[in-house]
Amino acid sequence: MNRKLEQAKILVTGGAGFIGSNLIEVLLAKGCEVVCLDNFLTGKRENLASFLDNPAFRLIEGDIRDLATCRRAVEDMDYVLHEAALGSVPRSIADPVTTTEINITGFVNMLFASVEAKVKRFVYAASSSTYGDSRELPKIEDRIGKPLSPYAITKYANELFAENFSSIYGIETVGLRYFNVFGKRQDPFGMYAAVIPKFAMSLIRHEAPRINGDGSFSRDFTYIDNVVQANLLALLAQNGESLNTVYNVAYGEETALTQLFEFLREDLSAFDPEIRNVHAVHGPERRGDIPHSLADISKARRLLGYAPEVDVREGLRRTARWYFDNLR
């Protein structure tokens, strides 16, 4: 991978976010020139602090809803990794307008600007929420249900636009349907924080985390290093069959929320034994949530060579260490 990506010019949208900043860290280590585009609506400046003195890194503060900004960001770029989006199912239910503006208008702006700039490949963050009300397990890319939230609709629309632009304009696209990504730099603050950072913050503070529902709902929790691997493979893919399509990006295992809480409590207790005495409380189920999510990753294995290396237990141990060092 180092040899083929070295000196490549890569734009990472949403680069100040959790996934984007992890991607930038690895790309810079591999000798790439990286431009980050972020409006800091949800991204954090501290996520970029260690890159600012690197001559191969450049920050553009701007919004993907502005086409002129998108055009400036893609100038001379070889590849785009499009991570910018307004995430969270509950947030999209509370504010579908802003979610749609950023996730659809912003996506089309970036995609069209990439076409105009003759970018070689546009790799974008898709979402497992696209599977909607489908109860089939494991989830297979070409069998989806009806979306259950405005957020899910926007992410499915991204896939449709990418497929359409590949056909009309000839740009190479790869969509990566992320399944419940977690790891270092994932923001624990705010009402729309993801479950693992919220649990970690509560446990470190000796406060009872809240589990939505009875805790039996399960997810295919996916450690950040696996997601970074999938993005690099998507950039490097050469086989025509591997392009202009979407892939599940996950580990391929289910973990129930109660089990997740117990794992995280055990891992954090290694640093603070008092955490063992913290117990979760239960609240109502969230609107738009599906009971279970498990990915079939065979397509990504076959066409991209994807081979996730970090399972949930190891990922949680690494994540617990990072949160304990950074949240106290």
pLDDT in tens, the chain (328 residues): 444 788 899 999 999 999 999 999 999 999 999 999 999 999 999 999 999 999 999 999 999 999 999 999 999 999 999 999 998 888 999 999 999 999 999 999 999 999 999 999 999 999 999 999 898 999 999 999 999 999 999 999 999 999 999 999 999 999 999 999 999 999 988 777 889 999 999 999 999 999 988 888 899 999 999 999 999 999 999 988 999 999 999 999 999 999 999 999 999 999 999 999 999 998 888 776 778 889 999 999 999 999 999 999 999 999 999 999 987 6
Element (H, E) at 189: none
Q: How far is it, in rounded angstroms, from Cα 148 to Cα 146?
A: 6
* pLDDT value, residue 46: 95
CB 35 within 8 A of CB 60: yes
* pLDDT value, residue 1: 45
* pLDDT value, residue 288: 65
Return the residue matching tokens 């060579």: 305
Sign of the Cα pseudo-torsion (63, 90, 222, 236, in order):
negative
- Work out the angle at residue 168's Cα, subtended by the Cα atoms of residues 164 and 171, and round it to the nearest 5 degrees: 85
Q: What is the phi/psi pair of residue 178, to 5°?
A: -75, 140
* pLDDT value, residue 50: 95
Report which residue type is found at 199: F
Q: How many CB atoms lie within 10 A of CB 153?
A: 21
Report which residue type is found at 21: S
* pLDDT value, residue 47: 96
* Catalytic annotation, residues: 151
Residues in the chain: 328
Element (H, E) at 302: helix 298-304
Evaluate the omega torsion of the peptide bond into residue 138 and state whether it is cis, within 30 degrees of 0: yes
* Domains of the chain and CATH, by start: 2-184+224-252+290-309 (3.40.50.720)
Sign of the Cα pseudo-torsion (223, 154, 113, 58, in order):
negative
Helices (H) and strands (E) in the chain — how many of each?
Answer: 12, 13
3-state secondary structure of 32: coil
CB 86 within 8 A of CB 99: yes
- Write the secondary structure of 82-108 as one string of H (helix), E (strand) and C (coil): ECCCCCCHHHHHHCHHHHHHHHHHHHH
* pLDDT value, residue 104: 98
Sign of the Cα pseudo-torsion (130, 134, 137, 140, in order):
negative
